[in-house]
Amino acid sequence: MSLEQVASRSTGPKHWRSLDVLRAIAVLLVLGRHHTGNDLLHRVGWIGVDLFFVLSGFLVSGLVFDEVRRTGTFRPWRFLVRRGFKIYPSFYVLIVVSAVYMHVTGWEMGLMNHLAELFFFQSYHEALWPHTWSLAVEEHFYFLLVVAVVVLLLARLRLTWKWLVLIAIGVFVCCLSLRILALVEPVAGIRFRLFATHLRLDSMMAGVLLAAWYRYRPISFKRTFHRRSWFAWALMLLGLTPALLHQVEHPVVTTVGFTGLWVAGAIAVGMAVLPVRKEERGVFTALLSGLAWIGGISYTTYLWHMFVLVGLNGLDHTTGWSFGEFDLLVYAVISVAVGWFMSLIVERPFLKIRERYFPRG
């Protein structure tokens, strides 16, 4: 048995607090993007979505790899049902409440906007909310991942590191090529270039490759990310450069810029999953704990933050009450509070049902 195989035994499913911290950073960036209180956050906060994509690809595909390595097979329906219990209850509660709110306030939305939300094609059509397109990308990714794994297993090709690298390279090249082609495609407007699933899947594929690297080549993974070398930090900064220098609509960003973001996100996740020296208790540790807590409710916070923003804007207009320079802070605090509350009353009960009737096994 090789050293890589021995090391891989210790890389099974686990919970990383450091990844919760990254989730918190991602959701706070998105909150800043949708608010005008801070110019820098408003301009670059959208990169939080790409960090979410890499994290989702890493964590969700990791569940698949662990099951295949542990049992030699894969149960696609159980996987999809378990993901459904995580995603759908909180999401559809948001959609129902939103539809009622919009009807009561006279905020008219077309039938296709509702259908786009209900059937997860928001990445190709305007929906009720401007941020739910990313959920469509993730849903499409889950189903494509299941299909790819099932096909590989049925073809008796096994889920090997070699095949995963080849598939990842194919996805990376294909997505970048399609983004470049979209620049000259007459019907490909800016919304299409920003949100279309087939133009954004490489961020999630980066997470998949990272998860495979962590499990199938753990020694190489640790050697690459453990030292947190200057080269890794420099490469991360290079990947972020287009997004930091240009608006998201800029052609450089919508082509190689998205590639740079998944490179930067993969490096951040790779460094986060490896152990570091424990810090002494203090303000820094308390800050990390707070961020990790926010990361634990990042999904429901992400879902509801635009509803909170609309509510606060409506309060400003109807009462004349303005939060002034603290508006961004108030909005962020309320969004996190609502995210925690919806996690408590919707997400967690359904997760308990999931674990009772559909345990990981």
The CA-based dihedral angle spanning residues 147, 202, 130, 322, taken in that order and rounded to the nearest 10 degrees: 130
Q: How far apart are CA 334 and CA 223, in angstroms?
A: 42
| Domain housing 267 | 3-357
pLDDT under 70: residue ranges of the chain: 1-14, 228, 276-281, 317-325
Q: 281 and 261 in contact (C-beta within 8 Å)? A: no
DSSP 8: H
Q: What is the pLDDT of residue 154?
A: 87
- pTM of the prediction? 0.93
> 147-156 contacts: CB < 8 A, separation 24 or more?
149/64, 149/68, 149/74, 149/76, 150/74, 150/76, 153/68, 153/73, 153/74
Q: What is the pLDDT of residue 359?
A: 93
Q: How far apart are CA 187 and CA 100, in angstroms?
A: 34
Residue 136 CA from chain centroid, whole number: 11
Q: What is the pLDDT of residue 14?
A: 59
Q: What is the pLDDT of residue 280?
A: 53
Q: What is the pLDDT of residues 146-170, one digit of tens each?
A: 999 999 888 877 778 988 999 999 9
Q: What is the pLDDT of residue 7?
A: 38
Q: 37 and 328 in contact (C-beta within 8 Å)? A: yes
Total tally of structural domains belonging to the chain: 1
Q: How far apart are CA 28 and CA 336, in angstroms?
A: 9
